[in-house]
């Protein structure tokens, strides 16, 4: 049978494990954002990212008069584009704005 002291140490150990996991997750996320910044720090990286955003129809409509399946497919592609936009913005929101300005299509 556990006594109160055993429960305290089990709780403390769990708190320490949670903290280690949290710090590891923060470190992993910081590395991901650094990787994105590195890619976007080059002209070729910026061109690639914009090409992916366009391929995903990120700024378009998912509407399809053809079928529901076609609209669902487009929505899935667009969701990836939105994920990429979110990652870019979190890494450096100024880069996303710069990408949009560079690639703005004339009216």
87 Cβ partners below 8 Å, 6+ apart?
32, 33, 36
Q: Tell me whether residue 45 is in a domain.
A: yes
- In total, how many domains does the chain have? 1
Q: At residue 30, does pLDDT exceed 70?
A: yes
Tell which wins on pLDDT, 5 or 59: 59
Q: Tell me whether residue 44 is in a domain.
A: yes
Q: Tell me whether residue 107 is in a domain.
A: no
Domain that holds residue 29: 4-102
Q: Is 39 exposed, middle or buried (0-12, 13-18, 19+ CB in 10 A)?
A: middle
Cβ distance 58 to 85 under 8 Å?
yes
Cβ distance 35 to 87 under 8 Å?
no
Tell which wins on pLDDT, 7 or 69: 69
pLDDT tens digits, one per residue of 34-48: 999 999 999 999 999
């Amino acid at each position: 049978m556990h006594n109160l002291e055993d429960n305290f140490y089990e709780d403390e150990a769990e708190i320490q494990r949670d903290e280690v996991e949290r710090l590891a997750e923060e470190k992993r996320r910081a590395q991901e954002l650094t990787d994105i910044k590195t890619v976007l720090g080059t002209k070729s990286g910026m061109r690639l990212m914009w090409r992916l955003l366009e391929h995903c129809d990120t700024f378009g409509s998912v509407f399809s008069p053809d079928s529901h399946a076609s609209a669902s497919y487009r929505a899935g592609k667009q969701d990836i584009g939105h994920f990429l936009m979110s990652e870019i913005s979190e890494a450096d929101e100024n880069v996303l704005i710069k990408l949009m300005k560079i690639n703005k299509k004339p009216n």
